[in-house]
Amino acid sequence: MIDTLGWVFIVGGVLFNVLGCLGMVRFPDVYNRMQSTTKSVTLGACGILFGIFLINGFTALGIKALVCVLFVLINLPVASHALSRGSLIFGIKLWKKTIKDEFTQDRGGTSIIGGEDE
């Protein structure tokens, strides 16, 4: 029973990972790509590691998987937040159909909306 639950977690995590990486190819600018990939890849990697913990229980493999869940859960959101803030300050353009950019307006800079599709 709990093995089946672990495999459900693992298969769901792999699907989240692959679809998040597909967003890395398909989305138009760097901020859209960040919000597509980091959320789904965080959930996917945590799902895979938690599924391994459910299958193995409190053995060496399971405890290490739990520690790795903790690291991945801190790693990607903090890194993508810092990187998106850094690239807004650096001036990498937003997509041309973006409606509002409150961060640059509050800092008093000129608008950086107008990036092309890529």
The correct pick among 58, 90, 99, 108 for binding another protein (CB under 8 A) is 90
Q: Per rule CB under 8 A, is residue 5 in the interface with another protein? A: no
CA distance between the termini of the chain: 46
Who contacts 15 (Cβ-Cβ below 8 Å, separation ≥6)?
A: 44
Q: Per rule CB under 8 A, is residue 87 in the interface with another protein? A: yes
Residues 36-75 that bind another protein (CB under 8 A): 37-38, 41-42, 44-45, 48-49, 52, 55-56, 59-61, 64-65, 67-68, 71-72, 74-75
The correct pick among 5, 8, 57, 86 for binding another protein (CB under 8 A) is 86
Q: Which regions of the chain does DSSP assign to beta strands (E)? A: 94-95, 113-115
Question: In whole angstroms, what is the distance from residue 66 CA to residue 56 CA?
Answer: 11
In eight-state DSSP terms, residue 29 is S
The residue among 30 and 96 lying less far from another protein, judged by its C-beta, is 30
In eight-state DSSP terms, residue 116 is P
Min separation Cβ 101 and another protein, Å:
16
Q: Per rule CB under 8 A, is residue 113 in the interface with another protein? A: no
Q: How many CB atoms lie within 10 A of CB 98?
A: 17
Q: What angle do CA 40, 45, 50 make, to 5 degrees?
A: 125
Question: In whole angstroms, what is the distance from residue 72 CA to residue 53 CA?
Answer: 15
Give the interface with another protein as residue ranges (CB under 8 A): 10-11, 13-15, 17-18, 20-22, 24-25, 30, 33-34, 37-38, 41-42, 44-45, 48-49, 52, 55-56, 59-61, 64-65, 67-68, 71-72, 74-76, 78-80, 82-87, 89-90, 92, 118
